[in-house]
Structures are given as C-alpha cells and as structure tokens.
Structure 1
Amino acid sequence: MTTWSDDEDYGPSITRRMLGLIMRQLREQARMSTIEACEAIEISPATLSRLENGQQGVNVHLAKSMLDVYGEVGRHDEILDLCRRSQRKGWWDTYGVSGRGYITMESDAESVRTFQALLIPGLLQSEDYARTLFQNSENVRADRVEPLVTVRMIRQERLRGERKPLRLEAIVHEAALRCLVGGIEVMYGQYAHLAELAKLPTVSLRILPSSAGSNARMASGFSVLTFPDKILPDTLYIEHAFGGTDTEKKAEVDAAKVAFKRLRAKALDEAASLAFLERVAEELS
C-alpha cells in the first residue's frame, strides 16, 4: 500500500496523482468494482477515473465519503491532508499558466529524457528563441508572450539548482539546429545557450545528425519523466501540433525508452555534439 510522508515537498500535480493512486488502492482493497464504488459514492465512472488517475483533485468532503465507503479508518488525517495539499497552487499559476499538463509533471520529476526533431527542447531554449516561438504562435495572445517566456526560463533554473535539481538527457536532431527561428542573431544566441547548458553536470546533450538516417520515432517529440524514489511510475509525454498527451501505461513507456535508447545510439556523443554545434554556428555566418 502506498504511503505518504509529510517530509516530502511535492507539487500539486504529483500530490493529485499520489492521492489518486491511494484511492484506487483503497477501492481495490475493499474489493469494490468501479461501478460499485460510483454507485455508493454517487459520482460518475468518468469522474472516478479522473480522480484515480490524478487528473482531477479530490476535495476533503468527497474524500471523506470515499473513505467511509471503502471502510478506511486508520488513515483519515494523512489522506485529508493530502487532499488539502493537492489543492495548492503551483508557482506557474502566478504567470497564468494552467495547473495541468506537462509543466506540472516536470516540476516534480527528478529526470527527463527528451527527443526533439524540429525545435530545441523548452528546457534548453534561450530567452529570445522562446520569445520568438510564442510570438509566432497563433494560439498565444501578445500579452501572454512575456509571462510564458518567464515561465520557461524559471523551469531551466532547476538544471542549475542545488536543491531538487533536474537531470536532463536531451537528443536533438540536426534539423532543429538548422531551423532558423527568429533569424541569425537569435540562433547565435541559442547556440551559445545550448553550449553553456550542455556543460552543466545535470545536462547531457547529444545531437542526432541527418546522416544518421530516418527513424519512425522521429515523427514527433517525446519525453520520459522519472519521479523521486519511484513514488510514481515513469510517464511518457508526447508532443503534437495542438498540444500533448501523457500516459503511464507501461507498454507505451517502455516502447519510448527503447526508442530513446536507439536514438541515443545513433546520436553523437556529448563532446562530438558540442563540436558539431560549433560547426553549425560557423556555417550560419
């Protein structure tokens, strides 16, 4: 049975997912099916699914009903405190960013493996590069550009942080380096930013040259997130033109890990990647 420690300082995303995992375990321990639980608690199967998957928070009143239905008597204080923690706002809320999606997962992850084919990964983007992307996005209002740039830069601070650092292993296709985002000056700044971050002990950057050939997994970017102490299963996040989706399904996550390993085998090593980056910058002049 999953337990929670008050000493852990996790954000609302991982807290919701942890709470959902506990609630699912309690339901299964009570030998209740989804339908039986929904009828007793008086919620829909879709709502229970979102609660157990951590996609939706559980308020204290609903949690009390669920605990009564599941016959749990020894963990009320722990679980109700978890409910209150799950309702907290993340730091990104200050900038008007939704408390759902990739950023909330990344904030609690201890490591990220990411592959990007056409753009520099967000965690490695320079300020001007990120600003240009947001300015050119049809879905971003002009008044939202600077807050979104700020959020992206704050995310990168964990790569340099001593407390709760984030380890990043990034594979970037050569096409992303050669795609002119914002013009030559912006790209020069981006190359310099990449070179600087690549030297951090928390960052591994590998370039996948075009000469390595094609791969079916190169159709879209994807990331695999790992959480502290395996408190939650590894999660796969897949980006697409209109947003992204995430899954904890082991078969899909494992397939992504295998794909990443194969891409890494084709990519240049870290030293060769920095040298390649320098050559691309020289060719741009």
Structure 2
Amino acid sequence: MTGEYAGEVAEDDYGPTITRRRLGRIMRQLRERTGLSLGEAARAIEYTTASLSRLENGQQGLNIHVAKSMLDVYNEVNRYEEILDLCRRSHRKGWWQAYGIHGRGYITLESDAESARTFEPLLAPGLLQTAGYARAIFEAQGEVRPERIENGVRVRMIRQERLRDARRPLSLEAVVHETALRCRVGGVEVMYGQLAHLAELAELPTVSLQIVPIEAGAHVSMAGGFVILRFPRRVLPDTLYVEHAFGGSDTEKKHEVDRAKLKFDRLRGMALDEASSIAFLQRLAEDLQ
C-alpha cells in the first residue's frame, strides 16, 4: 500500500460535513479575533450560547441570515463572500441521503476522508464487505423492510468504490481479528465469497490488510473496534470514530485520537504481515470448500 496515495481535492468536492466543520472553525476564529467571549457573541447576534457553541463545533448548520449578522458583529469584510458560499455549500445533501441515510454519522465523515485506519474484532470491515455478507449482517440486526436492507447494502458497495477511484481514492489500513473470519456470516457460501473478496482487495495499492491470529492472545482493544480518519490537506484534525450496538460517536480530541493511534500500532505489531495475512485468508477459504 502506498503511504500518501490521495491526490488533490478541490474545495467544491468536500461534502456537507467537512464544509460545516470548516465553517464553524472559521467563525470561532473570527469571534476570538474580535476578543468576544462565546456568551458575548451569542447575545450580540441574539443566539443562545449553546447554539453558538454547537455551530462553532460543526454540530449545527449556519443559515445565511445568521451568518450575515455574525460577520457584521465580527467586523469581517474581506472573507464575506467566501464565508457565505461555505454557508450555502454546508447545506447541500450528501449522496447517501438518496438511500434513506440521514444525520451526521460515520458515512458523512468517511466520504470526505483521504485515509482510514480500522480495527475490527468481530466483523469484516464495512469497506471490504461483499454484498452477500453485508446483507446477512443487516438481516441479523432485525431490519425487516427489504428496501432498507438493500439500500444499506448499496451504500456499502458505493463506499467501497473509493478504494479503486483514481481521482479521489480512499487509503485503507485494516487490522482484523481472526475471530471475525471464523464467524460464518450468511453461511458457508457467503463466507467463502467474503474471504476471497478480502484477499482480492488486499492486493489493491490503496489497501493494507493484516490479520491478528487467535493464538496472539489478549490485545489492547478487547472491548471493541474503532476507526481513525484523516482528511485532505488536514482541513480537519484526525478523527476517531467508535461504533457500538446502539450507534456510534466521534471525537477530534487529540489525546483520545493519539491513544487510538498507539493502540492501532500495537495491534499491527501483533498481526501477521500483509503477505502472510493474504495466505491466511486463502487457507481459511480452502477450509470451507
């Protein structure tokens, strides 16, 4: 896998999430430049302090009218049109919304990332799943509406296309525990296809895949998996995403992201190297025949 694979990304290519977060950071910088506290600025624009805090953190959108009021309060003239344009673009819909996925979850972050490092203890990584494997996962979760299941499967397949995208590739480093590969999700046929698919994708220049064998014993992330995302030209700080049974959460806090990076490096150190991992996948697939 190449280390710096991602190419240049035009600002217009950024999705609504990264645009909203960039906008929030800019507005915070403008406020701080004027010397106004969060509470003082909120009163000046007739906003609540909590709402202004969410806006600056990229958790809440900013409409044109409020943006103009803020720019007046902050005495900003030179970046007026730039900021209003960011404001408009932050309200664009993401491609995933056409498939019934809303909110500001993991997909909105991954769509703007240039690289992802992920540890999966119980599942094949979403970016490396086959349609059959993904479908079996959704069905096991009790989702009974077929259209919802098929939309979820389609979204995973679209996400996977970026691994082969020459213009905006996503670089993926994945560490997967052997336990995830032993669980026969969807039955023997589906699992055989999934193992073969992992071995195939591991040959891509954008993908690094390593397996932690069961024999390695206890490891530093027994409680679950995680993903570390990096963004183009560092317009956002590295972000840690942790999924759980009822959703997920993300953080940009440096000390938490750094802890995750250290854990990931330790997991890689325990894992088989890339060539041995591909051979291991091939042996597992042969055992299913």
For the aligned pair, the TM-score class normalised by the smaller chain equals over 0.9
Q: Structure 1 residues 246, 271: CA separation in 2 closer, same or farther (over 3 Å shift)?
A: same
Instruction: Deviation per CA, 1:10-60: give whole Å up to 9, x if none.
Output: 111110011011011111111111111111122222211221111221111
Query: 1:188 pairs with 189, 192, 197, which one?
Result: 192
Instruction: Deviation per CA, 1:57-102: give whole Å up to 9, x if none.
Output: 1111111111112221211100000000001011111111114111
Q: Which residue of 2 aligns with 1:228?
A: 232
Instruction: Deviation per CA, 1:159-183: give whole Å up to 9, x if none.
Output: 0010110000000000000111111
Give the 3-state SS of the residue equivalent to 2:44 in structure 1. helix
Query: 2:13 pairs with 9, 16, 19, which one?
Result: 9
Q: TM-score normalized by structure 2?
A: 0.94
Give the 3-state SS of the residue equivalent to 1:219 in structure 2. coil
AA of the residue aligned to 1:253: V
Deviation at 1:140, TM superposition (A): 6.2
Instruction: Deviation per CA, 1:254-284: give whole Å up to 9, x if none.
Output: 0000000000010111000011111222233
Deviation at 1:8, TM superposition (A): 4.4
Q: Kindly indicate whether the alpha-carbon contact (under 8 Å) linking 1:131 and 1:149 is maintained by their aligned counterparts in 2.
A: yes
Q: Which residue of 2 aligns with 1:152?
A: 156
Unmatched segments (≥5 aa) in structure 1: none
Q: Structure 1 residues 101, 7: CA separation in 2 closer, same or farther (over 3 Å shift)?
A: closer
Q: Kindly indicate whether the alpha-carbon contact (under 8 Å) linking 1:38 and 1:44 is maintained by their aligned counterparts in 2.
A: yes
Deviation at 1:125, TM superposition (A): 0.5
Distance 2:10 2:65 in 1: 21
Describe how 1:41-120 pairs up with structure 2 within 5 A. Answer: 41-120=45-124
Q: Which residue of 2 aligns with 1:252?
A: 256
Give the 3-state SS of the residue equivalent to 1:232 in structure 2. coil
AA of the residue aligned to 2:277: S
1:132 aligns with 2:136: yes
Give the 3-state SS of the residue equivalent to 1:108 in structure 2. coil
Distance 1:8 1:171 in 2: 32
Q: Give the count of matched residue pairs.
A: 281
Query: 2:223 pairs with 219, 227, 242, which one?
Result: 219
Q: TM-score normalized by structure 1?
A: 0.95
Q: Which residue of 1 aligns with 2:5?
A: none
AA of the residue aligned to 2:232: P
Q: Percent identity?
A: 67
Q: Kindly indicate whether the alpha-carbon contact (under 8 Å) linking 2:220 and 2:263 is maintained by their aligned counterparts in 1.
A: no
Distance 1:227 1:140 in 2: 35
Q: Kindly indicate whether the alpha-carbon contact (under 8 Å) linking 1:173 and 1:208 is maintained by their aligned counterparts in 2.
A: yes
Deviation at 1:105, TM superposition (A): 0.7
Deviation at 1:139, TM superposition (A): 5.2
- Bigger mean CA deviation after superposition, 268-277 or 63-72: 63-72
Unmatched segments (≥5 aa) in structure 2: 1-8
Instruction: Deviation per CA, 1:197-234: give whole Å up to 9, x if none.
Output: 11100000000111111124231110000001111100
Relative contact order (alpha carbons < 8 A, sep ≥ 6): 1 or 2 greater? 2
